[in-house]
Chain A
Amino acid sequence: MSAIHLLINNSAHHVEIAPDTPLLWVLRDKLNLTGTKYGCGMGLCGSCTVHLDGEAVRACQTPVSSVGAKKITTIEGLSADNTHPVQLAWIAEQVPQCGYCQCGQIMSAAALLAKTPHPTDDQIDAAMVGNLCRCGLYQRIRRAIHRASGSDGSAGAGKGA
């Protein structure tokens, strides 16, 4: 057990935990931040995607001891009221069905758009290929990312719409 300090969604947290525990389980089981989902435990599905200093990482592959002073953002911290442009686009395009993977999808998309405000379809593929959606809503995800990027939604029509 180690004492670990974490900065999550701009609040300080302190946990006593085995240092090799993945950040995923600290968020879910210790801090009740259950929006970050378990899907595979091997970094294969992206359901657990969070931001570390703005970078999209898989929380299931991130030992809590490796986080250090980096700022953690989870889906719960993306916006206070569903008004992040990616969230608004996800609602406008009616993306989710079951919704289980969508928090991870949104975190990957938000990280992409922060660095690449107007991504091409290939850039979307590269950023989102690690996020599985078993409901198969990739076309909507692509459209929502184009919408959030400020293009009029039809910009993605070439490949995705």
Chain B
Amino acid sequence: MAISRRQFVARGAVAGAGVLIGVRLTGALARAQESDAGAKKAPPNPFVAYVHVKPDGQISLIVAKSEMGQGIKTGLAMILAEEAEVDFNTVRVEQAETRPDLYAHMGTGGSGSTMENFMPLRRAGATVRELMITAAAAQWNVPRSECEAKKATVVHGKSSRTLGYGELVEAAEKLPIPDPEKVRLKDASKFEVIGHSTPRVDIPSKVNGSAQFGIDVRVPEMVFAVVARCPTFGGKPAQFDATKAKAVAGVRDVFEIPALGRDMFTAGGIVVVADSTWAAMKGRDALQIRWDNGAAASESTGALREALRAAAGKAGKRVRNDGDVDAAAAKSAKRVDAVYEVPFLAHATMEPMNITVHARGSDAEVWAPTQSPDWVQRTVAQILGLEPAKVTVHTTLMGGGFGRRYMADYPAEATQIAKVAGKPVQLVWSREDDMTHDFYRPSACHQMRGAVDQHGKPLLWSHTIASTSIGAWWDPPDKQAPEKSEVGGAEQMPYAVPNVRLEYNPVASSVPPLWWRSVEHSFNGFAVESFIDELAAAAGQDAVQFRKSLLVKPANWKPKGDDDPDPARLRAVLELAAAKADWSKPMPKGRGRGIAAYASFGSYFAEVAEVTVKGSDFKIDRIVVAVDCGQIVNPESVRSQAEGAIIYGLSAALKNEITIKNGAVEQTNFDGYDPIRINEAPPIEVHLVPSTEDPGGMGEPALPPIAPAVANAIFAASGQRLRKLPFQLKPVA
């Protein structure tokens, strides 16, 4: 639905428009938005979505969240339907227009869509319900307290009268909107939709080919483009010959586009525009290009690994310092030192990057599979010299996001091309483009030092992280705080150890880094949950009992910040996973169990892996998961997200790494970077903790514990401690 500024201000006072309710972020979240380190302008209004009750009573939820597989359109509609007292199936979910003037926050990421919208949508739904009750009570001239709403109908029990929402819209439209902070909300025990598995609304279109992803966009007169980019990061074409490329049937044009700098970070290169994707790709194959590789050509994974190890081994910026680690070291009975290493990783979404842009001179239209439509809009507008409002951005379905589709690089490239092409142009990245010009999960090295006393109690925990910082890459030099994007989860290390120190050192690299599913938790979870296992072994204690004894919640406990996990909730999932996995039952020789417990994005996970080790080979037999994500909206979606994030994490734990040679990525397709396949996927059992706490995120937090759970299981089965991802067991002599 198109919402005019006037409608927004007048909140549906336009005759016949129905009731329009802006969905407001809760106070804390709204403030967080305004103080966002991105230093964007304060949002012009506080709404994140709109609820539109049409004149016929039909309810639409117009929401600025992108669907990339997380089922958000279903979950958000469930929340609204619950409080509005309408049948879930009657709520229509519409993708918002890209209108930063109407929506406070358009990005989809950080596992945040449910967390952000749960209370605002409940309040909006309740507002609909209360307005309808008020309108009906007035019409019948009875007290409001005698009326209740059910299935889009207000009922006056005493007189058995009913009025449907459609019959009440006109009256409701004229009523003042109640204060959203004070509107009456349902008690969680009365929920009939929230917490009940509900089939996802997007699934039917995804089993018959009708779901339209970005790459499926077809518009009249469109052409297709690919770009030849320098394999070495930061390199550019020195010279090229397009003669043979232009001779390929279907090729229309070949030209160069320059690399774009900060915020866009495109590689630039030679563009081939053609009548079809295939012709463009063939044309590109026929290009003759000599590259100027530039300064990055000297970078290699081997040298970077040495630099990371060196940086992790020296003092860094202090992030946490409890007690006195140095003094405690002198008193320790048993010391443990360990180094953990993780490689770069590509996102490798199944749908490679692509976008369709039509630059028409005075305006433009864009079809974007994106997690950040407003950033796409600003980028396209900037390149075309237009006001952002002149750029219409349609957000399409995405074949996976995982953080990659937050970027504005492919929209920027496509706009450079569209400007020349003069027709709608679909830029398609081949799988090779996607894998070699991604923005990668940082490579990191962790130096851990710990010690236990003679009773097996941990005395100290010292952790130094070195990584190719995301913040250092993205932020202007004067704003850089490279540790901020890298230390989450390590800073909140939840175990009660009296002396704790965390330090950070950034390491420079030409490889562009980015948020990758669960961001820094993907490596900090591995280091923290492996090392606590090492300390348990040093103490001669059971891994579950040892953790439990250190997950202490003092009576006056208060979180130090938003990300500080509640030790009691973490302990509860630890106990549940252990119980469901028969933790105390002995395993035969060659088999072992490992556990890891970790909180991120507001959710608590414990995962048990069972493995069989045979020589230098191992197999994961089963994974048992316990999750406390606060109030569950759609249980089946929670299970599915947990299963999916675990398999994504297993691909990284067992198989995948991006390596660099001469400043270029060595892996180019799924042969060199092969994710987990069906024959390698272990059974995963997910156990849900019922809760009425605020909802946590679900897109990411199942991922961090899986690598350490497997490493700990391999240790239990074989005595081998694996500290480098992806895992490789030592060959057996």
Residue of B nearest to A78 (CB): B208
A28 contact set on B, CB distance < 8 A? 216, 277
Query: A101 within 8 Å of B by Cβ?
Result: yes
- B640 CB contact (under 8 Å) in A18, A32, A125, A140: A140
Q: Are A132 and B677 closer than 8 Å at their CB atoms?
A: yes
Q: Are A91 and B670 closer than 8 Å at their CB atoms?
A: no
0/1 interface trace, chain A 84-101, chain B, CB 8 Å (1 if under) = 000100110011111111
Q: Knowing A97-B70, A136-B648 touch, does A18 contact B209 (C-beta < 8 A)?
A: no
State in angstroms the CA–CA spacing of A124 and B678 once bound together: 9
Query: B203 within 8 Å of A by Cβ?
Result: yes
Q: Knowing A45-B670, A159-B683 touch, does A22 contact B678 (C-beta < 8 A)?
A: no
Query: A12 within 8 Å of B by Cβ?
Result: no
B350 contact set on A, CB distance < 8 A? 37, 39, 45, 47, 98, 100-101, 132-135
0/1 interface trace, chain A 28-68, chain B, CB 8 Å (1 if under) = 11101111111111101101000000000000000000000
State in angstroms the CA–CA spacing of A47 and B646 once bound together: 21
- B276 CB contact (under 8 Å) in A29, A100, A102, A128: A29
Q: Are A37 and B684 closer than 8 Å at their CB atoms?
A: no
State in angstroms the CA–CA spacing of A33 and B428 once bound together: 17
Q: Are B249 and A99 closer than 8 Å at their CB atoms?
A: no
State in angstroms the CA–CA spacing of A42 and B352 once bound together: 14
Q: Knowing A42-B669, A159-B683 touch, does A97 contact B644 (C-beta < 8 A)?
A: yes
Q: Are B209 and A33 closer than 8 Å at their CB atoms?
A: yes
Write the nearest CB–CB distance from B238 to chain A, whole angstroms.
27
Q: Are A94 and B681 closer than 8 Å at their CB atoms?
A: no
A-B pair count, CB < 8 Å, reads 192
Which of A28, A87, A139 gathers the greatest number of chain B CB atoms within 10 Å? A139
Q: Are A96 and B351 closer than 8 Å at their CB atoms?
A: no
Q: Are B669 and A102 closer than 8 Å at their CB atoms?
A: no
0/1 interface trace, chain A 128-152, chain B, CB 8 Å (1 if under) = 1101111111111110000000000
Q: Are B636 and A37 closer than 8 Å at their CB atoms?
A: no
Query: A161 within 8 Å of B by Cβ?
Result: yes
Q: Are A44 and B71 closer than 8 Å at their CB atoms?
A: no
Which of A28, A133, A159 gathers the greatest number of chain B CB atoms within 10 Å? A133
0/1 interface trace, chain B 390-434, chain A, CB 8 Å (1 if under) = 000000011111100000000000000000000000001011000
Residue of B nearest to A158 (CB): B683
Write the nearest CB–CB distance from A32 to chain B, whole angstroms.
6
State in angstroms the CA–CA spacing of A40 and B668 once bound together: 10
Query: B585 within 8 Å of A by Cβ?
Result: no
Which of B210, B215, B351 gathers the greatest number of chain A CB atoms within 10 Å? B351
Write the nearest CB–CB distance from B432 to chain A, whole angstroms.
8
State in angstroms the CA–CA spacing of A17 and B306 once bound together: 52
Q: Are B249 and A1 closer than 8 Å at their CB atoms?
A: yes
Residue of A nearest to B349 (CB): A134
Which of B205, B211, B275, B281 gathers the greatest number of chain A CB atoms within 10 Å? B211
Q: Are A99 and B679 closer than 8 Å at their CB atoms?
A: no
Q: Knowing A25-B277, A136-B645 touch, does A87 contact B216 (C-beta < 8 A)?
A: no
Q: Are A125 and B678 closer than 8 Å at their CB atoms?
A: yes
Q: Are A75 and B208 closer than 8 Å at their CB atoms?
A: yes
B70 contact set on A, CB distance < 8 A? 97
Q: Are B640 and A137 closer than 8 Å at their CB atoms?
A: yes
Query: B200 within 8 Å of A by Cβ?
Result: yes
Q: For chain B residues 579-635, which have a beta carbon within 8 Å of chain A?
A: none
Interface size on A, residues (CB 8 A): 61
B636 contact set on A, CB distance < 8 A? 94
State in angstroms the CA–CA spacing of A142 and B682 once bound together: 11
Q: Are B681 and A136 closer than 8 Å at their CB atoms?
A: yes
Write the nearest CB–CB distance from B668 to chain A, whole angstroms.
9
B281 contact set on A, CB distance < 8 A? 41
Q: Knowing A40-B670, A106-B207, A140-B640 touch, does A34 contact B647 (C-beta < 8 A)?
A: no
Q: For chain B residues 658-688, which have a beta carbon within 8 Å of chain A?
A: 669-671, 674-679, 681, 683-684
Q: Knowing A97-B644, A124-B678, A137-B640 touch, does A44 contact B670 (C-beta < 8 A)?
A: yes
Q: Are B669 and A87 closer than 8 Å at their CB atoms?
A: no
Q: Are B215 and A37 closer than 8 Å at their CB atoms?
A: yes
Write the nearest CB–CB distance from A161 to chain B, whole angstroms.
7
Query: A116 within 8 Å of B by Cβ?
Result: no
Q: For chain B residues 633-661, which have a beta carbon within 8 Å of chain A?
A: 636, 640-641, 643-648, 650-651
A45 contact set on B, CB distance < 8 A? 350, 431, 670
Write the nearest CB–CB distance from A51 to chain B, whole angstroms.
13
Q: Are A32 and B207 closer than 8 Å at their CB atoms?
A: no
Q: Are B670 and A135 closer than 8 Å at their CB atoms?
A: no
Query: B199 within 8 Å of A by Cβ?
Result: yes
B278 contact set on A, CB distance < 8 A? 18, 21-22, 25, 29
Write the nearest CB–CB distance from A154 to chain B, whole angstroms.
13
Q: Are B643 and A140 closer than 8 Å at their CB atoms?
A: yes
Query: B218 within 8 Å of A by Cβ?
Result: yes
Q: Are B208 and A44 closer than 8 Å at their CB atoms?
A: no
Q: Are A34 and B218 closer than 8 Å at their CB atoms?
A: yes
State in angstroms the CA–CA spacing of A25 and B278 once bound together: 6
Write the nearest CB–CB distance from B248 to chain A, whole angstroms.
9
Q: For chain B residues 181-230, which have a beta carbon within 8 Å of chain A?
A: 199-200, 202-213, 215-216, 218, 224
State in angstroms the CA–CA spacing of A78 and B215 once bound together: 21
Q: Are B647 and A138 closer than 8 Å at their CB atoms?
A: yes
Q: Knowing A35-B208, A106-B207 touch, does A131 contact B351 (C-beta < 8 A)?
A: no
Query: B131 within 8 Å of A by Cβ?
Result: no
Q: Are A125 and B679 closer than 8 Å at their CB atoms?
A: yes
0/1 interface trace, chain B 281-325, chain A, CB 8 Å (1 if under) = 100000000000000000000000000000000000000000000
Residues of A within 8 A of B (CB): 1, 18, 21-22, 25, 28-30, 32-42, 44-45, 47, 74-76, 78-79, 82, 87, 90-91, 94-103, 106, 124-125, 128-129, 131-142, 159-161
27 A-B residue pairs with Cβ-Cβ distance under 8 Å, sorted by A, are A18-B249, A34-B209, A35-B208, A35-B210, A38-B428, A39-B351, A39-B352, A39-B431, A40-B669, A42-B431, A45-B431, A47-B350, A90-B207, A96-B203, A98-B351, A98-B397, A98-B401, A99-B205, A129-B677, A129-B678, A129-B679, A133-B678, A136-B644, A136-B651, A140-B640, A142-B678, A160-B683
- Nearest first, the 8 closest Cβ-Cβ pairs linking A and B are A35-B209, A136-B647, A100-B399, A98-B69, A99-B206, A97-B69, A138-B681, A75-B209
- A sample of 5 more A-B contacts (CB under 8 A), given A40-B431, A99-B397, is A37-B213, A41-B431, A42-B669, A45-B670, A137-B647
